[in-house]
């Protein structure tokens, strides 16, 4: 081999050996290694300690590795991070100028205590102060791997498997970051882009784009951020956002919060513009999707206390309330499944405060169609108030209000007060909507006022008291000609009921009920027609959904001949009519000793059969 080739080979071998040596770790003293980066960390008020030896590598980039590290605040020696392995990559551009600068930090397997004191706030203030002072040396990348966050006073991790990557290059003013973590058993992913920390430090606005996804939904927002007027409130945000979840109760349980009527909401989404500062959130333009319903309006919320407080005004062109009622039926255990008799406790529904104003051009509750509906809903701790301020139905209007209040020991009972009325409603059309036979025609008007208290629906029905009145002017009974019945001495022509071709026009029909202990006594039941009149006496039972009464029909003549008598008895959806033999005793009202056991253990019977059409 020629001398020139030998020299070239020796030089190449020397460079190779030097490169391999530079890439290998060199063990150095821990204190000496900490002093190398101590000045840079000290600028942020941080101290670095490590239990194990430190190593130094020169290639591919100079870096220091520390084992079993501990990072503390110099002001009060409070621990910010402990355990794990810390890797500090030195900034090569700083080394060229003869200075030690930190290019990036990677902390693997550390435990970070979260607390309510000012240790982290102090670090952020120092970083902000250096940014306001002008250009400063800073790490361009911060990485956490497999980190654990411990809450104040807790021993179990609050956040596990945290992988965080913050990228803030020296040549750019924006900070981008991604994170994946496990919180309360669910893995989530968060991202932040376009944030300008220097603008925030100077007190000006910075754009931002953020997102959070978890197995049950997602949250995204973009807009501008600035420091809040009060430092304790953190950042003030303004922009547009979207929240979507497949199950609102599960999402609220995951984040450890509660909200009013949360058990009734499943698929839920909202989007629109927002402003947020501290615990206050304003939504001046808002679109809410609840199942298949879409509502527009505005809202504001406060999250300052464990009880979230929400005020909203929402409107919809078309609103279908059947899914909400169906969910209520399932929550109360009225869906026919075998289970223990459901309690009427309000606590699951009053986890937050809610003041809602709701309107819809058209609304539907199962088969019943409403128009021009305006309603309100007020939820407070231990109380719910529902008001139907107005609604058009079958040519008339209806109004109503119900107040539910927790009662009894630990709120195990619920006190209900309800009142309402209807005016000029076509009762026949309403019966058709409910799937019943249209046996009466005419505009009806009436009112009711009821109150009760109970542990469950059966107990509530057995303790209901109040009154109800209903009247119809210039109407008709369809399917039966009472004048012909009188002529036949109480008999009905063969096939007349099946053909339903009979008709009894009347001038006025009125019914008045007085309720006590779940029994409604017919205080007044009259029908006035041109050729006859009729009286009705008896009762309606809320306990077992039965009806029992006696009707007497009188011809409006001077014959003095008594009219026929009829007994009406049976469940609400299958009342039978029977002609009474002369001298037969009238039906007796039930005594107060009758126990409301007719539907105990059969939750589905708490609603009339036709009312099941309300729920999907």
Helices (H) then strands (E): counts for the chain: 11, 34
pTM above 0.75, yes or no: yes
Q: What is the pLDDT of residue 560?
A: 58
Q: What is the pLDDT of residue 257?
A: 85
**Low-confidence spans in the chain with pLDDT less than 50:** 1-23, 338-339, 341, 495-499, 591-616
Q: What is the pLDDT of residue 597?
A: 34
User: pLDDT (tens digit, 9 = 90+) per residue, 369-416?
Assistant: 999 999 999 999 989 999 999 999 999 999 999 999 998 777 788 999
Q: What is the pLDDT of residue 5?
A: 45
Pair of tokens at residue 595: 């126990």
Q: What is the pLDDT of residue 362?
A: 94
Q: What is the pLDDT of residue 520?
A: 93
512-541 burial code (b ≥16 CB/10 A, e <16)? bbbbebbbbebeebebebeebbbebbbbbb
Q: What is the pLDDT of residue 205?
A: 92
Which residue's structure tokens are 């104003």?
357
Which residue's structure tokens are 């952020």?
124
Q: What is the pLDDT of residue 267?
A: 87
Contact indicator for 282, 326 with CB cutoff of 8 Å: no
234-273 burial code (b ≥16 CB/10 A, e <16)? bebbbbebebbbebbbbbbebeeebbbbbbbbbebbbbbe
Work out the angle at residue 366's Cα, subtended by the Cα atoms of residues 363 and 367, and round it to the nearest 5 degrees.
Answer: 90
User: pLDDT (tens digit, 9 = 90+) per residue, 7-64?
Assistant: 344 334 434 433 444 445 677 777 877 887 888 888 788 888 888 788 888 777 788 8
Domain spans of the chain? 24-171, 456-600
Query: Measured over all CA atoms, what is the biggest interatomic distance in the chain, rounded to whole angstroms?
Result: 150
Q: What is the pLDDT of residue 613?
A: 37
């Amino acid at each position: 081999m020629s001398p020139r080739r030998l020299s070239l080979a020796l030089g190449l071998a020397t460079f190779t050996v030097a490169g391999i040596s530079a890439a290998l770790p060199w063990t150095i003293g821990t204190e000496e290694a900490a002093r190398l980066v101590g000045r840079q960390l000290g600028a942020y008020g941080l101290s670095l300690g490590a239990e194990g030896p430190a190593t130094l590598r020169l290639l591919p980039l100079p870096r220091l590795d520390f084992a079993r590290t501990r990072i503390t605040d110099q002001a009060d020696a409070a621990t910010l991070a402990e355990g794990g392995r810390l890797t500090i990559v030195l900034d090569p551009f700083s080394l060229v100028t003869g200075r030690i600068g930190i290019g990036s930090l990677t902390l693997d397997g550390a435990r970070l205590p979260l607390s309510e004191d000012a240790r982290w706030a102090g670090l952020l203030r120092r970083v902000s102060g250096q940014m306001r002072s002008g250009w400063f040396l800073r790490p361009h990348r911060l990485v956490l791997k497999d980190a654990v966050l411990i809450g104040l006073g807790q021993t179990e991790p609050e956040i596990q498997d945290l992988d965080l990557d913050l990228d803030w290059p020296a040549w750019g003013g924006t900070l981008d970051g991604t994170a994946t973590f496990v919180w309360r058993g669910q893995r989530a992913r968060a991202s932040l882009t376009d944030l300008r920390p220097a603008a925030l430090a100077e007190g000006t606005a910075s754009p931002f784009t953020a997102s959070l996804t978890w197995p049950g939904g997602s949250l995204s927002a973009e807009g501008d951020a600035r420091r809040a007027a009060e430092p304790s409130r953190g950042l003030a945000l303004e922009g547009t956002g979207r929240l979507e979840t497949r199950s609102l109760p599960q999402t609220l349980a995951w984040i450890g919060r509660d909200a009013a009527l949360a058990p009734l909401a499943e698929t839920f989404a909202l989007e629109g513009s927002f402003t947020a500062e501290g615990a206050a959130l304003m939504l001046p333009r808002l679109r809410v999707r609840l199942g298949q319903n879409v509502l527009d309006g505005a809202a504001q919320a406060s999250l300052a206390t464990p009880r979230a407080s929400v005020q909203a005004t929402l409107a919809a062109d078309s609103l279908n309330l059947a899914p909400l009622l169906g969910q209520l039926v399932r929550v109360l255990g009225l869906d026919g499944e075998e289970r223990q008799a459901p309690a009427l406790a309000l606590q699951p529904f009053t986890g937050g405060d809610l003041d809602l104003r709701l309107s819809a051009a058209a609304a539907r509750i199962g088969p019943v169609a409403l128009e021009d509906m305006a309603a309100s809903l007020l939820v407070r701790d231990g109380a719910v108030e529902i008001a139907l301020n107005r609604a058009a139905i079958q040519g008339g209007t209806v109004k109503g209000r119900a107040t539910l209040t927790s009662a009894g020991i630990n709120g195990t009972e619920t006190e209900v007060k309800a009142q309402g009325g209807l005016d000029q409603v076509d009762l026949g059309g309403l019966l058709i909507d409910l799937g019943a036979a249209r046996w009466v025609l005419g505009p009806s008007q009436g009112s009711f006022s009821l109150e009760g208290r109970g542990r469950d629906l059966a107990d509530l029905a057995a303790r209901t008291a109040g009154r109800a009145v209903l009247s119809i002017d210039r109407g008709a009974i369809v399917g039966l000609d009472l004048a012909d019945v009188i002529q036949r001495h109480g008999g009905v022509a063969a096939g007349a009921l099946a053909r339903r071709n009979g008709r009894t026009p009347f001038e006025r029909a009125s019914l008045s009920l007085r309720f006590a202990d779940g029994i409604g006594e017919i205080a007044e039941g009259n029908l006035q027609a041109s050729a006859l009149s009729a009286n009705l006496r008896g009762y309606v039972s809320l306990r077992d959904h039965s009806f029992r009464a006696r009707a007497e029909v009188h011809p409006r003549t001077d014959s003095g001949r008594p009219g026929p008598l009829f007994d009406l008895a049976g469940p609400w959806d299958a009342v039978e009519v029977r002609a009474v033999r002369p001298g037969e005793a009238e039906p007796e009202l039930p005594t107060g000793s009758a126990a409301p056991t007719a539907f105990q253990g059969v939750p589905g019977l708490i609603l009339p059969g036709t009312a099941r059409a309300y729920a999907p």
